[in-house]
Structure formats: structure tokens, C-alpha cells
Amino acid sequence: MSAIPKLAPRAGVVERRASILAGLAALVPPAALITAEDERRAYETDALTAYRQIPLAVVLPETTEEVSAVLAFLNREGVRVVARGAGTSLAGGALPTEDSVVVGVSKMNRILEVDTANRTIRVEAGVTNLAVSGAVSHLGFFYAPDPSSQLACTIAGNIAMNSGGAHCLKYGVTTNNVLGAKIVLMDGTVVEIGGKALDAAGLDWLGLVVGSEGQLGLVTEATLRILPLAEGARPVLMGFSSAEDAGACVAAIIGSGIIPVAIEYMDRPAIKVCEAFAHAGYPLDVEAMLIVEVEGSEAEIEDLLGRITAIAQDFRPQTIKVSRSEAESLAIWKGRKSAFGAMGRIADYMCMDGTIPTGQLPLVLRRIAEICAARGLEVANIFHAGDGNLHPLVLFNANEPGGLEKAEECGAEILKLCVEVGGCLTGEHGVGVEKRELMVHQYTPVDLAQQTRLKSAFDPAWLLNPNKVFPLEGRVLS
């Protein structure tokens, strides 16, 4: 196991497990309460599988009222709660503690209301990201945030982590696309914020709750913005002989006034692995590749792709390949979207998630290569080049003693580097348990104290997801 310390259990809670389970059993139907060890084991980890901990119990409520009753009871009993969506967090956001009850929203997965005239949809928070778009696509609408895990991940998790995706350059991230929420506080109080209007009264509670990683309350319902689907979309794939050229090309595209719907960057190792997996027709002889996608009518797409490829000529492109069909577009995106799976076939890897000022890309890539080489590890880089969100995939061998620790050291050095050049520790995956102890590199003690005091106002006893986000040492509570 690795170096990230565990939070000490609350005294006496594990010992009181039987009475806590009996209390829960009185609040929810039998099928909603999971107590057997082999069934609880399914909830011991998320997509950060290096960390595992079986919880005291798992509750899967079907209504907001059940969530409220469960939280009120656990609050009275002084029992910790770890909220869980689909368990796809790459940062350990859903990792339990041994003295916690996992409250999952997976059974709360109904679409409650579709309102295309007001361009909103109201859903229970356990609905998957893709199901939201699926509920409105036949009406010509979609839900914009599109994290790679969108087939499985829930709106509850998206709200907790303020999830992004490849298309947020144009459409924003979760916080820009949520209009209302029903939230259960740790004492069981249910609060409703916002709705179908474009803003809410008073303080921006919604802005605070989105991205709060289950520290403030559990979201059980949400009202989301839906947007009209574009007439069409097509990418161009461009290869360059250096990170400098590719980065300068991105700056020139943006400087020309074009906001593509996505600009994805892959370096040579990433291209190689993805091409071997997806046979997308990626160029293997380039150092850097951009996938730039634009939207609109056929004529608009032609016009924009023409402007973009003309701009690219100034940066010595080695390859320019404009997609000419739906099939070519799918192949180009298949390579990119399968990057993580493709990487997993050749090695264990850690997916990092820093953000950097885009102009720092060449420097940061050089330093990342040095950091990994110093520990004998390889790295592949995928980058949302329009918004600066960088995903280095650090490859390692989990079976080699110390392999994971070496990869974690690289990861920590890389994220510190992101902060050093003016960026941040996490662009879309969240802090979770993974980056908790790194927060001191981005924030001063004063910054952190402001955040932890705010958490205390919502959750005075720190029962909600307490092993996450804030470094264990030095938590200022009031």
C-alpha cells in the first residue's frame, strides 16, 4: 500500500456496528441495506483501485426522504458517511473508511421531467450522464458535460466533482450547466436551491455545492440545462514535429477568433498506443497531434476547417487529415476516447489530471519526461489543449515492489509542477483521497482554513466524506 495516510476511525463506532445496522434497517427496505461482507466488498474502492476499505454498511436509498432519514440517524449516532455515485472516481472520491456507511444513489435513477421549451431536465441524481442526453436526443437536445466515463458515471458524481469532458471548451463544465438541486445536509435537512430560472436568489449555493466532493451534503435531484444539438460536427487531425509547434498552432487558432468545440492534444507515446489499439489512422512519425473539432452546418464546418488548416500551415504540419465522413470522425475519436483502455493493455498506469496555462505546455512536457525518466518510468500525455487540462499517464508495473510508490512520486512531482507554472492540482477529476495531501502546495494555511471552516458550517462534526480533499493535519474547524 502507498504513502497516503489513513484517517483514524472514530472511537467506538466499529464496535457499535450491530446497533447501527439495526437502526438503518428500521429506515429503509431490506433490499436497500447491504451488510454481508462479500456484498460490501463491491463498494470497497472506485476507479483508484490501489486504495480499498470495506465500509461498515452500504445503503442504497430510493427516495430523498430515505436519504434524509438515514443521514439524520447517522448524524445522531456520530457515524461517518461516504457518498457514492457509480464509483468511477479516479481520485478515490468514493473510497470508504472502515467506520463509515456508504450512501449510494444508484437506485435513484429516474428522469423526472423533460422541458424543452425551458431547455431543462430534472433528474434523480443517480441517473447516468449519458442517460440524460439519451432522454432528450430524440428531441434534438443534449446535456453538455461529457466525461469519458459518461456511460457509467452519475449526475450525483458529476456534481460532486464538477466533471468536465472533451467538449467543455465551448460548453463549459458541470457548474455551468446545473440550474437547481435538492440537497440533503448531514443532519437530514433537505434544501432546495434554484430551479428552471437562470439564477437563484441570495448566495450562490449551487456554485458552492458543485465540485464540493460530498463534503457539504448529498445531492438527490438536479435540474440541468439541455442545449440544442448542433447540425453536425467534424474533426481535423493534425501532426506536428514538436510540442512547441502544436501549442503555437492552438494559440493561433484561438487568436483568430475560432472557438472549436474541442482541441485534443496527444504526444508520441499516446499516439502510438492508441493507434495500435483503435487503428484510427493516426500518424506515427509525429511528436504531437491535435484533434480539432468544429460544429455547424456542412458549409460552416467546411469554412471553419478551411480556416483552421490554413492557420496550421504556419507551424510546419507533417500531417493534416480532415475527416470526410461520419466513419472517419468516429475512428479519430475512438482512438482518443479509448486512450485509457488502450494504455491499460500495455501497463498499469496512473492517470494524472493537472491544469496548466496552455503557453507552458512545451516546458511542462519536458519536465514531466525528466521527472518520469529519473525514476525509470515512461509517460504518455493527453491534453485538453483549449483549456489547459493535462492528463499525463504514468506507466508502471504494479507487481514490481515499490512500483506504485514510484508512480505516485512521479504523479506528485508532476502536479506540483502544474501548480508551480501557474496551474492547479486537478482540472476535472477532483482531489479525493489521491491529492488530499498535495493541497498544501496550491493553498496557504489561510486559504485552507477558509475552506475547512466553511465545511464545518455545513457539517460541524466532519462526518461527511471526512477522509477526502483536506490534508489530515492542520484542519481548522471553527
Partner 1 sequence: MSVLLPASEAEAEAIIGEAAAARAPLAIEGGGTRPTGRPVQAERTIATRALSGITLYEPAEMVIAARAGTPLAEVEAALAANRQRLAFEPMDHRPLLGTAGEPTIGGVAAANVSGPRRIHSGAARDSLIGIRFVNGRGETVKSGGRVMKNVTGLDLVKFLAGARGSLGLLTEVTFKVLPEAETETTLVIAGLDAERGVAALSAALGTPWEVTGAAHLPAEPGDVSHTVMRLEGFAPSVAYRRERLAAALAAFGPAELLEGEDSRALWAAIRDVRLLAAPPGKAVWRLSVPPMEGPAVGRRLEAALGSRLLYDWGGGLIWASADETGDAGAAAMRAAAAAAGGHATLVRAGPATRAAVAAFTPDPAPLAALARQVKTVFDPAGIFPAVFDAA
Q: How many residues bind partner 1 (CB under 8 A)?
A: 96
Alpha helices in 95-242 (DSSP H): 129-136, 155-161, 168-171, 205-209
Residues 352-371, mask of contacts with partner 1 (x by CB under 8 A): ---xxxxx------------
Q: Is residue 5 part of the contact set for partner 1 (CB under 8 A)?
A: no
Alpha helices in 315-385 (DSSP H): 326-337, 339-346, 361-373
Is the Cα torsion angle 392, 398, 401, 405 positive or negative in sign?
positive
Q: Is residue 381 part of the contact set for partner 1 (CB under 8 A)?
A: no
Instruction: Name residue 238's beta-bridge partners.
Output: 290, 320
Whichever of 80 and 225 has its CB closer to partner 1, that residue is 225
Q: Are strands 100-104 and 178-184 parallel, antiparallel or unpaired?
A: unpaired
Please identify which residue in 78, 107, 458, 461 interacts with partner 1, judged by CB under 8 A: 458
Q: Which three cell numbers stand for residue 358?
A: 496552455
Instruction: Name residue 307's beta-bridge partners.
Output: none
Q: Is residue 473 part of the contact set for partner 1 (CB under 8 A)?
A: no
Q: Is 132:224 a contact under the CB 8 Å cutoff? A: yes
Q: Which three cell numbers stand for residue 348?
A: 498499469
Q: Is residue 19 part of the contact set for partner 1 (CB under 8 A)?
A: no
Q: Which of residues 434-453 bind partner 1 (CB under 8 A)?
A: 435, 439, 442-444, 446-448, 450-451, 453
Please identify which residue in 77, 387, 405, 413 interacts with partner 1, judged by CB under 8 A: 387
Q: Please state at what angle helix 339-346 crosses helix 326-337, rounded to 10 degrees.
A: 50
Please identify which residue in 257, 399, 401, 473 interacts with partner 1, judged by CB under 8 A: 257
Whichever of 29 and 422 has its CB closer to partner 1, that residue is 422
Please identify which residue in 88, 120, 154, 329 interacts with partner 1, judged by CB under 8 A: 120
Please identify which residue in 2, 49, 297, 313 interacts with partner 1, judged by CB under 8 A: 297
Please identify which residue in 1, 22, 138, 255 interacts with partner 1, judged by CB under 8 A: 255
Is the Cα torsion angle 294, 275, 359, 353 positive or negative in sign?
positive
Stretch (H or E) spanning 389: strand 389-396
Q: Cβ of residue 216: shortest distance to partner 1, in angstroms?
A: 8
Of 339, 335, 392, nearest to 361 by C-alpha is: 392
Q: Is residue 188 part of the contact set for partner 1 (CB under 8 A)?
A: no
Q: Cβ of residue 428: shortest distance to partner 1, in angstroms?
A: 6
Rounded Cα distance between 130 and 153, Å, is: 8
Please identify which residue in 13, 193, 270, 292 interacts with partner 1, judged by CB under 8 A: 193
Q: Is residue 284 part of the contact set for partner 1 (CB under 8 A)?
A: no
Q: Cβ of residue 106: shortest distance to partner 1, in angstroms?
A: 23
